[in-house]
């Protein structure tokens, strides 16, 4: 008889086992039954949380912020008497429309989530991935219920009357600012290999739980710093520099695939992109001089190649092919269809690719299926003027299309609006140094869900957090 027995994850005995599609672990029949019971109990917990959230929605009433807006409108109506009654009514209708739209959107999301929970429960076909997805969706709806208001009042002065209008809070995000003195959230204890030290941190990724993942370039490992933890822990690469599957060789970037919670790493000097899932390693892409990584909302993986001066895209699970060129690929140069040592990349909702074109000292945007790019930051030679960059690295684009760039050799983070001739300094720019308002060759950058800015301060061997300054909810001119 063929010996087809493997070790059970729970009892550690060699038995005939069955693979769980969610956690990718093998269980014997007895332990698999218990494992499924645990998953079933977790599903019931999610259903209970869903019911509680649905109750909150059912009891939802206009919040104090909406009521204060109505009060302002009523006061304005009284002061301006009959001339402006029609304007006041128009503004009321807009606010009511905003609130109704918000409640309608929440109801649609609840109905959709309800159907998914019902289907999963009835079919009894679910695993950890399904449960994690339900938790995330439920948490997003709850957060949206707790923070419903996105409008404010803007008052304009005119002769005899002050005309008012309703503006969206999102329009004011372009004025977002950060405290100029950063907080060191990891490292900052000199160069070294201790748990509270780094040796040239490079790429950075902040997950939805505010955990920080850092590619520690010169020590050849990935460090995870839990939210509010004082020290980090090695997540990948405990076995020092090397080319084995459990080793790294000068990693430059790290991202998290939220779909399966896998860690994807640009293992630069091993010329490969690797994936870690539950301590299992897999080479996704081989023979690539990769610097930067990105995943779009459709699950495509993007990687920059600093030697071939190109960015390629792969469909998840189809890494055996050469991928598709989405930027560059026409040799080294400074024409709009060329790149010169691309490093970090960002992909937006429309699958446009933003590339830190390092040696051309610019950020260039390639639309989907475009034959050439468009310069959206820098591109005026190397320098420190507001229309210049010097060896840019990290790049992120926000929902308003504003481009944030790590201007590495100018020791600053800049913000550019597409179409503008120059950018603005948001943090740093106070010369090279190790003070709380200074940086020393910053590499990447990342934001958490509150808008706080995190910067790997490469030669200061630390991670700096620049706290966002909350926007005012009311503007009166």
Look at residue 475 in the predicted model and tell me its pLDDT. 34
Look at residue 65 in the predicted model and tell me its pLDDT. 65
Q: Is the pLDDT reported for residue 474 higher than 70? A: no
Look at residue 83 in the predicted model and tell me its pLDDT. 65
CATH C-level class of 177-469: mainly beta
> Residue 285 and residue 275: Cα distance in Å, rounded?
10
- Joined together, the tokens standing for residue 449 give 């869900």
- Region 358-383: mean pLDDT is 95
- Region 101-120: mean pLDDT is 82
Q: Lowest-pLDDT range, 39-43, 102-106, 162-166, 231-235?
A: 162-166
Q: Lowest-pLDDT range, 143-147, 244-248, 310-314, 329-333?
A: 143-147
> Residue 244 and residue 247: Cα distance in Å, rounded?
5
Tell me the pLDDT tens digit for each residue of 371-428: 999 999 999 999 999 999 999 999 999 888 899 999 999 999 999 988 888 999 999 9
Look at residue 306 in the predicted model and tell me its pLDDT. 93
- Region 221-239: mean pLDDT is 83
CB 177 within 8 A of CB 467: no
Q: Is the pLDDT reported for residue 473 higher than 60? A: no
Look at residue 171 in the predicted model and tell me its pLDDT. 43
> Residue 434 and residue 461: Cα distance in Å, rounded?
10
Exposed, middle or buried: residue 280 (CB in 10 Å: 0-12, 13-18, 19+)?
exposed
Token look-up 């937006």 returns 348
- Joined together, the tokens standing for residue 61 give 């009433």
Look at residue 53 in the predicted model and tell me its pLDDT. 82
Look at residue 84 in the predicted model and tell me its pLDDT. 65
Tell me the pLDDT tens digit for each residue of 312-355: 999 988 888 999 999 999 999 999 999 999 999 999 999 999 99
Task: Find all residues with CB under 8 Å of 42, minimum gap 6, and list them.
Answer: 131
> Which of the pair, 154 or 224, is modelled with greater confidence?
224
- Region 237-242: mean pLDDT is 81
The confidence band for 168, taking pLDDT boundaries of 50, 70 and 90, is low
> Which of the pair, 1 or 259, is modelled with greater confidence?
259
Q: Is the pLDDT reported for residue 160 higher than 60? A: no
What does pLDDT average to over the chain?
86
Q: Is the pLDDT reported for residue 173 higher than 60? A: no
3-class SS string, the chain:
CCCCCEECCCCCCEECEEECCCCCCEEEHHHHHHHHHHHHHHHHHHHHHHHHHHHHHHCCCCCHHHHHHHHHHHHHHHHHHHHHHHHHHHHHHHHHHHHHHHHHHHHHHHHHHHHHHHHHHHHCCCCHHHHHHHHHHHHHHHHHHHCCCCEEEEEEECCCCEEEEEEEHHHHHHHCEECCCCEEEEECCCECCCCCCECCEEEEEECCCCCEEEEEHHHCEEEEECCCCCCCEEEECCCCECCCCCCECCEEEEEEECCCCEEEEEEHHHCEEEEEECCEEEEEEECCCEEEEEECCCCEEEEEECCCCEEEEEECCCCCCCCEEEEECCCECCCCCCECCEEEEEECCCCCEEEEEHHHCEEEEECCCCCCCEEEEECCCECCCCCCECCEEEEEECCCCEEEEEEHHHCEEEEEECCCCCCEEEEECCCECCCCCCECCECCCEECCCCCEEEEEHHHCEEEEECEECCCCCEEC
> Which of the pair, 43 or 76, is modelled with greater confidence?
43
Tell me the pLDDT tens digit for each residue of 433-446: 999 999 999 999 99
């Amino acid at each position: 008889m063929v010996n087809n027995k493997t070790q059970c994850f729970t009892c550690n005995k060699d038995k005939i086992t069955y693979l769980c599609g969610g956690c990718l672990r093998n269980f014997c029949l007895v332990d698999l039954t218990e494992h499924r019971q645990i998953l079933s109990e977790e599903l019931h917990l999610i259903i209970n949380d869903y019911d509680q959230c649905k109750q909150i929605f059912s009891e939802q009433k206009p919040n104090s912020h909406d009521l204060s807006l109505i009060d302002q409108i009523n006061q304005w109506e009284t002061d301006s008497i009959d001339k402006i009654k029609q304007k006041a009514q128009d503004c009321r209708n807009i606010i009511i429309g905003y609130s109704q739209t918000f409640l309608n959107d929440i109801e649609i999301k609840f109905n959709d989530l309800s159907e998914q929970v019902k289907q999963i429960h009835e079919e009894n076909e679910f695993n950890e991935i399904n449960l994690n997805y339900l938790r995330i969706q439920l948490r997003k709806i709850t957060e949206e219920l707790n923070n419903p208001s996105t409008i404010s009042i803007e008052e304009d002065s005119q002769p005899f009357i002050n005309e008012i209008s309703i503006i969206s809070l999102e329009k004011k995000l372009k004025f977002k600012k950060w405290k100029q003195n950063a907080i060191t959230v990891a490292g900052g204890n000199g160069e070294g290999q201790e748990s509270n030290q780094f040796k040239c941190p490079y790429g950075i990724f902040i997950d939805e739980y505010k955990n920080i993942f850092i590619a520690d370039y010169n020590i050849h490992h990935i460090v995870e710093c839990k939210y509010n933890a004082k020290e980090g822990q090695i997540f990948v690469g405990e076995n020092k520099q090397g080319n084995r599957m459990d080793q790294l060789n000068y990693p430059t970037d790290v991202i998290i695939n939220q779909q399966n919670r896998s860690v994807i790493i640009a293992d630069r000097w091993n010329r490969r992109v690797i994936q870690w899932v539950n301590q299992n390693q897999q080479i996704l892409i081989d023979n690539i001089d990769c610097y930067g990584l990105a995943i779009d909302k459709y699950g495509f993986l993007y990687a920059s190649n600093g030697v071939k001066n190109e960015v390629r895209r792969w469909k998840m699970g189809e890494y055996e092919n050469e991928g598709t060129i989405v930027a560059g690929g026409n040799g080294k140069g400074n024409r709009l269809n060329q790149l010169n040592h691309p490093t970090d990349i960002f992909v937006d909702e429309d699958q446009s690719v933003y590339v830190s074109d390092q040696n051309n000292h610019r950020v260039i945007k390639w639309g989907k299926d475009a034959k050439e790019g468009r310069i959206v930051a820098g591109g005026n030679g190397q320098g420190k003027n507001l229309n210049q960059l010097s060896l840019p690295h990290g790049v992120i684009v926000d929902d308003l299309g504003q481009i944030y760039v790590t201007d590495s050799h100018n020791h600053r983070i800049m913000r550019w609006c597409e179409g503008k001739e120059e950018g603005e300094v948001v943090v740093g720019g106070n010369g090279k140094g190790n003070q709380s308002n200074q940086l020393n060759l910053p590499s990447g950058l990342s934001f958490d869900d509150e808008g706080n800015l995190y910067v790997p301060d490469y030669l200061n061997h630390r991670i700096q957090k620049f706290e966002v300054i909350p926007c005012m909810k009311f503007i009166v001119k």
